[in-house]
Amino acid sequence: FMVGGHMCCGVLGERLMLRLGDAGAARALEEPHTAPMDFTGRVMRSMAFVEPEGWREPGGLAAWVDRALAFVGTLPPK
């Protein structure tokens, strides 16, 4: 999904894909059920995948999407 012309989040298979910025993605990767976003064959440092086990709990999806929205909200609109 796009916000202000920027990629914010999406779903690839069952994994949630989030744009969190370099620092936010690094913090996310310290949490369980996360993985580097390497969809293109190389790691995109500003993005992370979250496996279903990491977002299926009540409130889990909203919490992750809120983190992506918070980061994308810091970017100037395109």
Residue 52 lies in a domain: yes
Q: Is 28 within the bounds of a domain?
A: yes
Write out the residue range of the structural domain in which residue 39 sits. Answer: 2-72
Is 33 domain-assigned? yes
Decide if 16 is inside a domain. yes
Predicted structure pTM score:
0.92
Instruction: Quote the number of domains for the chain.
Output: 1
- The answer to whether position 34 is within a domain reads yes
44-66 residue pLDDT tens? 999 999 999 999 999 999 999 99
Is 59 part of any domain?
A: yes
Q: With pLDDT > 70 as the criterion, what percentage of the chain qualifies?
A: 100
d(CA 5, CA 41): 24
Is residue 77 in some structural domain? no
